[in-house]
Structure 1
């Protein structure tokens, strides 16, 4: 695309980016602004200097380091385990062509459409029965299954188009099914798996409803739960609220930026070369 059309698209994308970034910029500005500055000049004014006491106070008040570790542990574990489970399921469904494949895929599709509100009570009852209530392990298991349902459905369609010639060549070389999966399918599908890993991490990091129900102890709460509870109790002024929001989104944004190239390459290249 050349000429005026190209510049029009570029201008529209620039405006869209500014509109999307504006709330984050306002949050960042107010996070380093003193309460007196906020009261006198309002939320849109620039700070006279860097006031970090609000960030320090919030960090100490909620023990943010512990909440950060809980979110990292749960999100990282879920991302890795869900990708592994998705690959194993999709390999059996997409390449192995197990009996009842279509019915199983429909079941995974239905599982993806269920709202978390419908799952809350059954999962709560099971967690109580197995002694997993108010543990990080319960969240890892639950979200691994939830994310793997989507991953299985997606990868089954991708691996269903996997070139059979490559697998036949691996079989001629003496590779069994498991070795073909590890040495052939996974390396070729790495871009797609990387995309799933990134999305599973971010989706799990942002989860609020189920962790709010299952993680009631202060030592087990995740970042979104800690932010929601503290905001609801109105223990913070406007600048500390901005500081909490900033600290809540920075880790996820940093993770996304670190793996941005991997994400772009995965979407562009696709699963099968």
Structure 2
């Protein structure tokens, strides 16, 4: 009887509610204040998007009479159709998807290989190499335009989407290498030693040990690289001059004249350019959340 009482006593005590946990569930005035501030900031961020959505379906006459803050009395879609046909939007959309998707995949792959060599491999002076990569990533894009222009002119890649893909792959992989090198430097050495004892090569260790564990971080980099490249403007504007190679952000500038600008058509173009990235973010929101919170729990 004594043994059974001792064995059942911990189970009984574990079912009792913890007063500390119950107290922690109660929201204080500070929690509600932080929540209210977060909601207010969210509303301020959403105001420009709401104005774009409202003004995209207004006619120029209605915009001139009622202003940008009023709701449209009827749906005016001529602005969307005008931008769609004027800039050949499906072509621009495909160029943006091709450039952003290629850069995201290539930059993540190169970042993983570089970080594996710097963070896990035996590269001498890897700290200085990471510092140089970080400093190179901090250079403004305006500094790169002049030498890159002559380089791509010489090799015949000017006005070619691959010129922009190569540039952004190098830029994004520099940041990815810096980030992943810090992550891989804290990688458990026991796993690597166990894989080496089992006869795994370095490539097998990378693909079967390092890659599965770091997949959440790589997913976050992939999403960020895609969105960052999609929103780039200066380099695509400089290196993609023909109508067949331009991207969506560059196509929006076609609607802006020297002394006249159609606000409703410009809002419609901004809406069409925003929808793909918004859909992409919503599709991979769960992947992004899991990747960010993956390192919080061991």
Q: TM-score, normalised by structure 2?
A: 0.88
Shift in CA distance, 151/248, structure 1 to aligned 2, threshold 3 Å: same
Match of 2:105 in 1: 80
TM-aligned CA deviation for residue 236 of structure 1: 4.8
Q: Is the 8 A contact 2:116 2:181 kept in 1?
A: yes
TM-aligned CA deviation for residue 97 of structure 1: 2.7
Shift in CA distance, 59/177, structure 1 to aligned 2, threshold 3 Å: same
Pick from 40, 45, 51 the counterpart of residue 76 of structure 2: 51
Q: Is the 8 A contact 1:189 1:272 kept in 2?
A: no
The total of aligned residue pairs comes to 273
Q: Is the 8 A contact 1:78 1:144 kept in 2?
A: yes
Q: Is the 8 A contact 2:256 2:262 kept in 1?
A: no
TM-aligned CA deviation for residue 228 of structure 1: 2.2
Trace 1:84-99 onto structure 2 (pairs within 5 A).
Answer: 84-99=109-124
Answer with 234-243 or 42-51: which moved more.
234-243
TM-aligned CA deviation for residue 271 of structure 1: 9.1
Cα distance in 2, alignment partners of residues 117 and 215 from structure 1: 16
TM-aligned CA deviation for residue 48 of structure 1: 1.7
Cα distance in 2, alignment partners of residues 234 and 258 from structure 1: 40
Pick from 127, 130, 144 the counterpart of residue 119 of structure 1: 144
The superposition leaves residues 31-83 of structure 1 with CA deviations (integer Å, 9 ceiling, x where unpaired) of 01122221221111111222212101111011111111100000000000000
Trace 1:1-273 onto structure 2 (pairs within 5 A).
Answer: 2-232=27-257, 236-270=261-295, 273=298
Q: Is the 8 A contact 2:103 2:165 kept in 1?
A: yes
Cα distance in 2, alignment partners of residues 49 and 262 from structure 1: 39
Cα distance in 2, alignment partners of residues 271 and 175 from structure 1: 29
Q: Which runs of 4+ in 1 moved over 4 A?
A: 232-236
Cα distance in 1, alignment partners of residues 146 and 53 from structure 2: 38
Cα distance in 2, alignment partners of residues 121 and 38 from structure 1: 42
TM-aligned CA deviation for residue 186 of structure 1: 0.7
Bigger CA radius of gyration: 2
Shift in CA distance, 235/178, structure 1 to aligned 2, threshold 3 Å: farther
- Which consecutive unaligned segments of at least 5 residues does structure 2 have? 1-23
